[in-house]
Structure 1
Amino acid sequence: MRNYQSLEEIELDLKRLNLERQIAIEELKLTKYNLEEHLKPINLVGNFLKFASKYGLLILIKRFFK
C-alpha cells in the first residue's frame, strides 16, 4: 500500500487510475467489435469457403498422385 504525502498525490493517482480504467474500457469495446465482425454470418461463410477450397485442393492433389 502506498503512503501519500499530500492531497495532490492522491488526486494525481486517482486521475491516472481513471485514465487506465477508460483505456481498458475502450480496449474491451474494440475487442467486442472485432468479435462481432468475426462472427457475422457473411464472414463465417467466407471462412468456410476458404477452408473448403484448401481442403478440396488437398484432396485433388492426393488423388492426382495416387
Structure 2
Amino acid sequence: MGSHVPESGVRWVKSSYSSGNAQCVETAAVAGGRLVRDSKLGERSPILAVGSDEWAAFSRKIKSGELDQR
C-alpha cells in the first residue's frame, strides 16, 4: 500500500466480537487494502496501512486459529 492514508471519508468498524470497553481495534476498507487503528485513541490513533494480499493472509490465519495463544 502507498504511504498516503486518507484523513476523511473513511468508515471505521469494530469487530462484532469486541466488547463495549473500547479495548479493541478498528478497521477501514480502502482502495488497495485496510487501515487499522486503536479504538480507544480514535482520531488520535496512529494508523497502520495493510495491503489487500497481506490482509487476506492475516485474516486466514485468524480464522484458522493459527494465531491463537497457546
Calculate the TM-score normalised by the size of structure 2.
0.26
RCO higher in structure (CA 8 A, sep ≥6):
2
More helix as a share of residues: 1
Calculate the TM-score normalised by the size of structure 1.
0.27
